[in-house]
Amino acid sequence: MRVTQALSADGAELETLAAALDDDRSGRRWMVGVAGAPGSGKSAFCRALLEVLGPGAVGVPMDGFHLADATLAELGLLGRKGAPETFDAWGYAALLERVRTGPAYAVYAPGFERSLEQPIAGAITVAPDDRVVLTEGNYLLLDRPEWRAVRQELDEVWFVQTDEALRRQRLLARHVEFGKSEGEARAWVERVDEPNARLVEATRTRADRVIDLSAWRSAAV
């Protein structure tokens, strides 16, 4: 049954969520996805939850599986960067499968560098004794074969949401921060981010838990 809750301004509920993850895992590695529309606060939420969980918890973001700009250009997809087809979803699912099995060796996962807007290979270490893995991304609940393969590797998927005006404001600010003019940022949000957001919002009913971040002061892009 899906659980819906809100984070208060001080995020006190993070302690309860972290405790639930430790209780649920039954001595094995626990894999939790955090989905949500662009700008909803997924990354900030995961950073905060990982801090509460402490050592033994690690984040492996979907963004590490962005296709490189050169590949997107070859495919004619550079102008749609961030849409589902601009990720290596099958590779993402394969990496999560390796991580889920809890091998006796470190697994190195790709990260994503926003200042370059490019994935970085081998940027994240999943150690053999890591007990909780959080992975966040827009499309974890999308009903397409490659994204169903991703969902199959996760014990639960949580969906985060926030005030719509705030979400769009964050997106604009992020695009400007990383090099777009205000006009370019607005055009990108309308042409790319918002269609993606509508696609993601339609998957919310498939989540195990819905968390509203609208009141949480720490939420950021």
Find the CATH number of the domain harbouring 143.
3.40.50.300
Residue 109 lies in a domain: yes
Number of domains in the chain: 1
User: What Rg, from alpha-carbon coordinates, does the chain have?
Assistant: 17
Q: Would residue 219 count as lying in a domain?
A: no
Regarding predicted confidence, which is higher, 77 or 1? 77
For 20-65, what is each residue's pLDDT tens digit?
887 755 678 999 999 999 999 999 999 999 999 999 999 999 999 9
* pTM for this entry: 0.91
Nearest CA to 159 out of 27, 35, 10 is that of 35
Q: Establish if 147 belongs to a structural domain.
A: yes
Residue 179 lies in a domain: yes
In a domain, 153, yes or no: yes
Q: Which of 89-93, 183-187, 201-205, 216-220 has the lowest mean pLDDT?
A: 216-220
Residue 54: both structure tokens together: 């402490």
Structural domain includes residue 72: yes
* Domain-embedded: residue 221: no
Rounded average pLDDT over 101-108: 94
pLDDT at residue 180 tops 70 = yes
Residue 220 lies in a domain: no
Question: Which pLDDT belongs to residue 192?
Answer: 86
* Parent domain of 161: 3-212
Per DSSP, 67 falls in state: P
> Would the pLDDT of 193 be above 70?
yes
Alpha helices, H only, the chain: 13-24, 42-53, 69-75, 89-100, 145-152, 164-177, 182-188, 194-201
Q: Give the number of other Cβ atoms within 10 Å of residue 12's Cβ.
A: 9
What is the per-residue pLDDT for 2? 66
